[in-house]
A and B are shown apart, each in its own frame.
Chain A
Amino acid sequence: MEVHEWRKAIGDIVREHSASDVVTRYFDLKQTPLRAQVIVRELAHFIRHRRDCWAHVSGNCPVWSVKQKILQHEYGEVIKDEFSEHGHITLILNQGKTVGLEPEDILNADPLPTTRAVLYAWGWITREKPWLEGLAALTVTEWCNDDRLLGDHGGGHSTRMGRRWSEDMGFKMKEMPNFDVHSQADEEHSDMFLPDLEKHATGPLQEKTLRAVKESMELMTIYRAGVLEAMERIPVDG
């Protein structure tokens, strides 16, 4: 498949996920500071664990130019980029403060069992499976933040939850730096590896790569469902 065909194929899977019952309920749920804390704590686990996963894909990948791209991606995420001088983890730590969490509350929190399970699953895919499948499984999660793809669904997930927090808790987008940055940075990241899929995911690898995309979105659904259920257990006036 050429780049535009990959864009369509992956985009369709992401759009299906975004329109699912779990995701719809996730974004429909009224937000309160305590519920928002659940999102922040789990997202911090998710963000940190991505670093292990991307490094595993780089380790498994034999293609120099792809390794270089992964390193560029990770340099921006961990060290600095145009969006953050100290890596993206600081974005979620700063955003946590707006809902009453100190950095140590976030960094020392245990993950939900569902979060732990899906992180282990992504870890397994990226460590044990062929590099193309690992790459596809990782890159697709960034597509969930792509406003271009999900505009008619209310935007990418960062934009959508940012709006929810604004409506329910009165925050401005600049007070939610993680949502603010990821609604922009992940559009760039969505496009980043499409030429590599066109070049390397050919023949029988094409189907396996698409399968990895689907499995990754299934993991994302489990992750969202776990966070949703944890938030639903917190009373709206809690």
Chain B
Amino acid sequence: MDATVAGYDESLNQLTRDAFAVPEVQAFYEMRLTPRRAQIIAQQFGLFVRGRRSAWAYLIARCPHMEVKKELLAHETEEMLFDPRCGSDHYTLWVRHGEAVGLTADEVHDARPLPTTRAAICGWSWLAFNLSWLEGLGGVAVLERVNLDPIIPGGAHQTRAQERWTKDLGLTLEQLPNFKLHREADTDHKGQTMELLANYARTDVEWEGILDAARQSLEFWQVFLGGVGRAMEAVE
């Protein structure tokens, strides 16, 4: 990675760290889990995983480079059809989390999005549909960084969430396959996405566009987590 790319890579890391310092994000991670609260998480994160697929599909549609389309299709195949790391698609993992806290698969599948969940999902689709494909990719993909322990002091999203689910609810890691999977998968995905950005972003203007899209994307993440946190707070 050359110095310019490394500099922008670090800027994306810093934006991600900044997102963890926002009060509603901190509140989400600090809130004690109960089975009912965990059900809300399983349902809203199931919607999050499914809803984000449209953004990735728009990126595939709008990118003019066949080799990038191929990479993005491979990424989506893991998310939607089969990831050998976990033996299923990624959405199914949230169904299993839901089942671990008393939901049926249908109750996860048929859950209604919170208004904040819907708004955030629309936001990510908007980035992919309306920005240049490169900026859209930078924006949509930056969320993979929230799962990277090496860049987030105190542990990244999956690690913090895993601690809550195991300590507060007494569940085992076997019942909660999503956390470990996403730590691994998103480490791989982040590397692949950064390589694509580095290959196609030629100017500082393009990199600034990517950073701006990433900033917006992480704000949508704050909206999403904030909404989930408030819904959890409202129940025992």
Show the binding face of A for B, using Cβ within 8 Å: 48, 51-53, 55-56, 58-61, 64, 67-68, 71-72, 74-75, 78-79, 87, 89, 127
Within the complex, which residue of B53, B73, B89 is in contact with A74, where a contact is CB–CB below 8 Å? B73
How far is B50's CA from A51's CA once the two chains are assembled, in angstroms? 21
**Is the pair A79, B66 in contact by a Cβ cutoff of 8 Å?**
no
* Contacting residues, chain A, for B66 (C-beta < 8 A): 48, 51, 78, 89
User: Told that A53-B61, A59-B55, A59-B128 touch, could you supply 18 new A-B pairs with CB distance under 8 A?
Assistant: A56-B57, A56-B58, A56-B61, A58-B57, A59-B54, A59-B129, A60-B54, A64-B109, A67-B53, A67-B80, A68-B89, A71-B73, A71-B76, A71-B77, A71-B80, A74-B73, A75-B77, A79-B77
Within the complex, which residue of A52, A58, A67, A74 is in contact with B62, where a contact is CB–CB below 8 Å? A52
* Closest residue on chain A to residue B49 by CB atoms: A64
Give the size category of B's interface with A. Answer: 20 to 34
How far is B81's CA from A58's CA once the two chains are assembled, in angstroms? 14
Within the complex, which residue of A51, A60, A64 is in contact with B91, where a contact is CB–CB below 8 Å? A64
* Contacting residues, chain A, for B58 (C-beta < 8 A): 55-56, 59
**Is the pair A59, B91 in contact by a Cβ cutoff of 8 Å?**
no
* Closest residue on chain B to residue A126 by CB atoms: B61
Question: Assuming A67-B80, A75-B81, is B74 touching A55 (CB within 8 A)?
Answer: no
Say what secondary structure dominates the interface of chain B.
helix
Within the complex, which residue of B54, B69, B76 is in contact with A51, where a contact is CB–CB below 8 Å? B69
* Least Cβ–Cβ distance between B221 and chain A, in angstroms: 20
* Closest residue on chain B to residue A89 by CB atoms: B66
* Contacting residues, chain B, for A53 (C-beta < 8 A): 61
Interface residues of B in 112-128 (CB under 8 A from A): 125, 128
The yes or no answer to B230 lying at the interface (CB within 8 A) is: no
* Contacting residues, chain B, for A58 (C-beta < 8 A): 53-54, 57, 60-61
* Least Cβ–Cβ distance between B73 and chain A, in angstroms: 5
How far is B53's CA from A89's CA once the two chains are assembled, in angstroms? 24
**Is the pair A55, B91 in contact by a Cβ cutoff of 8 Å?**
no
Q: Choose among B80, B81, B125 the residue with the greatest number of A CB atoms under 10 Å from its CB.
A: B80
**Is the pair A71, B69 in contact by a Cβ cutoff of 8 Å?**
no
The yes or no answer to B36 lying at the interface (CB within 8 A) is: no
How far is B57's CA from A203's CA once the two chains are assembled, in angstroms? 28
Chain A to chain B contacts (Cβ below 8 Å), 29 pairs:
A48-B66, A51-B66, A51-B69, A52-B61, A52-B62, A53-B61, A55-B58, A56-B57, A58-B53, A58-B61, A59-B61, A59-B125, A60-B54, A61-B54, A64-B50, A64-B109, A67-B53, A67-B80, A68-B80, A68-B81, A68-B89, A71-B81, A72-B81, A74-B60, A79-B73, A79-B74, A79-B77, A89-B66, A127-B61
* Least Cβ–Cβ distance between B107 and chain A, in angstroms: 15
How far is B80's CA from A59's CA once the two chains are assembled, in angstroms? 13
How far is B66's CA from A74's CA once the two chains are assembled, in angstroms? 12
* Least Cβ–Cβ distance between B11 and chain A, in angstroms: 28
Q: Mark B23-65, 1 if CB is under 8 A from A, else 0.
A: 0000000000000000000000000001001110110111000
How far is B91's CA from A52's CA once the two chains are assembled, in angstroms? 24
How far is B125's CA from A74's CA once the two chains are assembled, in angstroms? 20
* Least Cβ–Cβ distance between B89 and chain A, in angstroms: 8
* Closest residue on chain B to residue A71 by CB atoms: B80
* Contacting residues, chain B, for A51 (C-beta < 8 A): 60-61, 66, 69
* Contacting residues, chain A, for B128 (C-beta < 8 A): 59
